[in-house]
Amino acid sequence: MFIIDRQLAGADKKLARLSTYGGIIIVLALLPLLVRSPYVVYVFTTTFIYIVATVSLRTVTISGQYPLAHGAFMGIGAYTSAVTAKLLGWPVGLTIPLGGVAAMLIGALIAYPFARLRAFYYAMVSLFFGIGVIQVIFVLTKWTSGSGGLVDIPHLLPSTSRVPYYYFFLGFMVICLFALWRFEYSRIGLSLKAIAQSHLVASSVGINEVRYRVLALSVGCFFVGLAGAGYAHYNFTLSPTSFDFLASMWLFIYALIGGLGSFGGPIVGAALLIIVPELLSGLKQFIPFISAAILLIIFYVLHDGLISLPRVIGTWYKKGKPGTADITEAS
Amino acid sequence: MVLTTAAVVNTLLISAMYIVAALGFAFLMNVMGFINFSHGAIYMLAGYICYQLAVVYGLNLWLSFSLSVIIISASGLFLERFCFRYATGNLDRMIIITIAIILILENSINVTVGAYVRSLPSFAPGILKFLTFSFATDKLLTLVICGVLLAVIIGFTRRTKYGLQMQAVSQNLEAAALQGINVHRISAIACAMACGMAAVAGCLMGALFNLSAFMGDNMLVKALELVILGGIGSVGGILFAGLLIGAIDAVVPLFSSGAVGQVIGLAIIIIILLFRPQGFFGREFE
């Protein structure tokens, strides 16, 4: 009886959660009909792309690796797709997956030697790798146009309006998030989390550490490459500075703001840090200050990221007055 | 021959700048275990404060240089107390707070001063002739300042009471605290010194080259390269790595474009680190 009750409660919870997700997707699908501003549609489409990039970064971090080169992998995907589509004239439907595959291959190639390094050293070496990738883009000026930026990239959809792009990237985001979610909650994802907690214990129970870390980075890079390729054919221009060291840091920041501990965290973080500054501020130069303010709030108040906001409010509510909280804890 | 002397002088000059900036970075990393990604932004801010005092307010250049270093060092105390102390030992939190500082500083400069490239007046204009070679005086002076500063810093850490306490804290924080060392005070001193060194590098760099709001990003990467390559906790390692990276940065652009030099330098660093993750002379960072 008790078990059935619990199962029923679990089913209820699952239903509630699914209906929440469905509701969010329906609201997002109706948004272009309600808000007629092309700018809002543009901001939201960019957000969808960055959400995929940020969540794919989380896929790497659950294996205990700090990828500070993820922005560079986005650049690899973007430039691969843009250059093959523009200079070789390949159809865009083919080059976008190609961008993902290129990022995945390079990710897998560097993941093998980099698997020697852990934690801080991995973060630093991947950071240097990311800077190196940007410099390679500068070196290959013949194809990538270097610092001048690549312009006139073939369009993804035969439409001048932004609305079809909005629906395309909404669908793209839903599919990618579902795939990454399935990956994380599969047996492989469990092994990755085990490696992150203790690589010695994980390898002693038969988890091949190097193979799983390579797999995590490959999957993460594939999706970030796809996102980058989509970004290229949506913006029609590319510049290396969109993928430099600070861009990689930003992807990490998006994930941290939302909370790296849960799947929803990076989604919330990316959405907040892209949409709020863009919509609040009329003056472009003041956007970084709003971002900095959000970062400081997370740093001093919400230690586990924005996703922990309901929990923090809940504990405050339960504790009542802040003064009495310490006494109850002590007793 | 002229090209060789130019290459040697440039190597030493660039190396000296990198070493002074990286030494400050390494101080914080050693003593507090804090990776200060905003080191480059602090370095940039020092250059602009010096510019503001010397060019806009018309103060003596040396006075404004000293004032800039003092102001930045004092702000280092503030940063340690209210920002860095809450982030030690957690890479996630280090990244959040330092990126916030980078955003605030770089964009404050960008909004107020503007994105135009500025330059400080030269500290010592003129040319020094020695045998058949001629050197720019300000470059030599920069080298001298960096050399003296390095000697002072090394003397401080090896000889004085606070320097020895700093070494103790960097070796083992708990044991040092048990011996009665005030760990927070030592961290504050280390942070002030780190910011001061960044300030010296920023002012000198602003006089030799240009000031721009985003010049710190490049220096941050160089400081990271030096510290990681030389090894954490080793001053000699930083000197060696500084000379190596300075040589790569000064010599390779003579033969090819700057980007190629960067790629070669980064490739060398990555390959070295794959085989010796702790750097040339360092210990493991936990």
pLDDT tens for chain B, 286 residues long, are: 667 777 788 788 888 888 888 988 888 888 888 888 999 999 999 999 999 898 888 888 889 999 999 999 999 999 999 988 888 878 888 888 999 999 999 888 888 887 677 888 877 777 777 776 777 788 888 888 889 998 998 899 889 999 899 888 888 888 989 989 998 899 999 999 999 999 999 998 888 888 888 888 888 888 888 888 888 777 888 888 888 888 887 777 777 776 787 788 888 888 888 888 777 776 666 5
Distance of CA A26 to the CA centre of its chain: 22
Measured over the CA atoms of residue A48, residue A50, residue A55 and residue A56, the dihedral's sign is positive
Q: Do B96 and A256 touch (CB under 8 A)?
A: yes
In the stretch 97-136 of chain B, residues with CB closer than 8 A to chain A read 97, 99-100, 103-104, 106-107, 110-111
Distance from the Cα of B276 to chain A's closest Cα (Å) equals 10
Where on the phi/psi map is residue A152: left (φ > 0), alpha (ψ -120 to 50), or beta? left
In degrees rounded to 5, what are phi and psi of residue B233?
A: 90, 15
Q: Which residues of A touch B86 (CB under 8 A)?
A: 299-300
Contacts of A291 in chain B (CB under 8 A): 103
How far is residue B245's CA from residue B268's CA, in Å, rounded to a whole number? 10
Name which residue leads in pLDDT, A305 or A221.
A221
Tokens representing residue A203 in the block? 């390898």
Of A30-44, A132-146, A224-238, B115-129, the one with minimum mean pLDDT is B115-129
What is the distance between the alpha carbons of residues A22 and A178, in angstroms, rounded to a whole number?
13
**In DSSP terms, which residues pair with B128 in a beta bridge?**
B135
DSSP letters, A137-174, are: HHHTHHHH-GGG-B--PPPSSS-SSSHHHHHHHHHHHH
Whether the model pTM is above 0.90: no
Structure tokens at B255: 């033969």
The predicted model gives A183-199 an average pLDDT of 89
Q: Are B81 and B188 in contact (CB under 8 A)?
A: yes
- Say yes or no: A132 contacts chain B, CB-CB below 8 A: yes
Classify the C-alpha dihedral B232-B234-B239-B241 as positive or negative. Answer: negative
Helix (H) or strand (E) holding A18: helix A2-34
Residues in A closer than 8 angstroms to B272, CB to CB, are none
If residue B136 lies in a helix (H) or strand (E), which one and from where to where? strand B133-136
A330, pLDDT greater than 50? no
Domain borders along chain A are: 35-245
Q: Let me know: does B197 contact B105? Beta carbons within 8 Å.
A: no
More confident residue, A330 or A237: A237
- Name the residue in chain A with its Cα closest to that of B283: A121
Q: How far is A295 from chain B (nearest CA, A)?
A: 6
Amino acid at A19: S
Is B274 in contact with A113 (Cβ distance < 8 A)?
Answer: yes
Q: Would you say the C-alpha torsion B246, B248, B249, B254 has a positive or negative sign?
A: positive
Residues 6+ apart with CB under 8 A from B131: none
Residue contacts between A and B (CB atoms, under 8 Å): 107
Is it the case that residue A327 has pLDDT exceeding 70? no
Residue-wise pLDDT for A104-124, tens only, equals 999 999 888 888 887 788 888
* pLDDT, average across residues A173-194: 91
Q: Measure Cα distances from B3 to A146, B8, B9, B14, B251 in Å.
A: 29, 9, 10, 16, 10
DSSP run (H or E) holding A25:
helix A2-34
Token pair for A134: 């940007």
Which residues touch B207 (CB under 8 Å, ≥6 apart)? B119, B120, B121, B122, B123, B138, B142
Helix (H, G, I), strand (E, B) or coil at B133: strand
Find, in chain B, the residue whose alpha carbon is nearest to that of A115: B274
pLDDT tens column, B196-239: 999 999 998 888 888 888 888 888 888 888 888 888 777 888 88
**Strand, helix or coil for residue B5:** helix
Alpha helices (H) along B52-131? 61-82, 91-112
Residue A323: pLDDT over 50: no
Q: How far apart are CA A250 and CA B95, in angstroms?
A: 10
- Indicate the SS3 state at residue A197: helix
Asked if A270 contacts A54 with a C-beta cutoff of 8 angstroms, the reply is yes
Query: d(Cα B179, Cα B190) in Å, to the nearest integer?
Result: 19
B264 CB within 8 Å of a chain A CB? no
Compare all CA atoms of chain A with the CA of B256 and give the residue at the minimum distance.
A139
**Nearest-CA distance A56 → chain B (Å):** 17
Of the listed ranges A5-9, A43-47, B101-105, B228-232, the least confidently predicted one is A5-9
Whether the Cβ atoms of residue A99 and residue A80 lie closer than 8 Å to each other: yes
Is it the case that residue A99 has pLDDT exceeding 70? Answer: yes
The radius of gyration computed from the CA coordinates of chain A, to the nearest angstrom, equals: 21
A240: confidence class by pLDDT, cuts 50, 70, 90: confident
Identify the sign of the CA torsion A310, A315, A318, A323.
negative
- Which chain B residue's Cα is nearest to A289? B104
For residue B162, the one-letter residue type is Y
Q: What do you get for the CA distance between the two ends of chain A, in Å?
A: 37
Contact A135 B259 (CB under 8 A): yes
Tokens of A57: 């970064």
Terminal-residue alpha carbon distance, chain B: 47
pLDDT of residue B126: 73
Alpha carbons A48 and B154: distance in angstroms, whole number = 52
pLDDT at res. A312: 82
Q: What is the DSSP string of B189-234?
A: HHHHHHHHHHHHHHHHHHHHS-B-TTHHHHHHHHHHHHHHHH-BT-
Q: Which of B138, B133, B136, B146 is nearest to B122 (CA)?
A: B138
The interface pTM score, or ipTM, of the predicted complex is 0.85
Q: How far, in Å, CA of B277 to CA of B286, rounded?
A: 12
Contact A273, A253 (CB under 8 A): yes
Measured distance CA(B32)–CA(B37) in Å, rounded: 14
Task: Determine contact, residues A115/A214, Cβ cutoff 8 Å.
Answer: yes
- Chain A partners within 8 Å of B266 (Cβ): 128-129, 131-132, 135
- A117, B270: Cβ pair inside 8 Å? no
B62: number of CA atoms within 13 Å, CB side?
A: 5
pLDDT of B71 reads 94
In this predicted structure, the answer to whether residue A73 has a pLDDT above a threshold of 90 is yes
Taking the Cβ of residue B269 and every Cβ of chain A, the question of whether any pair is shorter than 8 Å is answered with yes
Helix B39-51 to helix B183-208 angle (10° resolution) is: 60
CA neighbours within 13 Å on the CB side: how many for B88?
21
**Can you tell me whether residue B244 is helix, strand or coil?**
helix
CA A144, CA B214: separation in Å to the nearest integer?
A: 23
pLDDT at A8: 62
Decide: B50 and B203 in contact? Cβ < 8 Å.
Answer: yes
Domains and CATH numbers, chain B: 2-122+130-275 (1.10.3470)
Chain B contacts of A257, Cβ < 8 Å?
96
pLDDT at A7: 62
DSSP-assigned beta bridge partners for residue B134: B129
Look at residue B248 in the predicted model and tell me its pLDDT: 81
Summary mean pLDDT of chain A: 85
How far is it, in rounded angstroms, from Cα B279 to Cα B266? 14
Residue B1 carries which DSSP code?
-
Summarize the confidence of residues A39-54 as an average pLDDT: 91
pLDDT exceeds cutoff 80 at A11: no
Any residues with CB less than 8 A from the CB of B206 and at least 6 apart, and which? B47, B48, B50, B51, B118, B119, B120
Region label for B191, one of left (φ > 0), alpha (ψ between -120 and 50) or beta (otherwise): alpha
Nearest CB neighbour to A292, from listed B104, B111, B257: B104
The answer to whether the Cβ–Cβ distance between A125 and B273 falls below 8 Å is yes
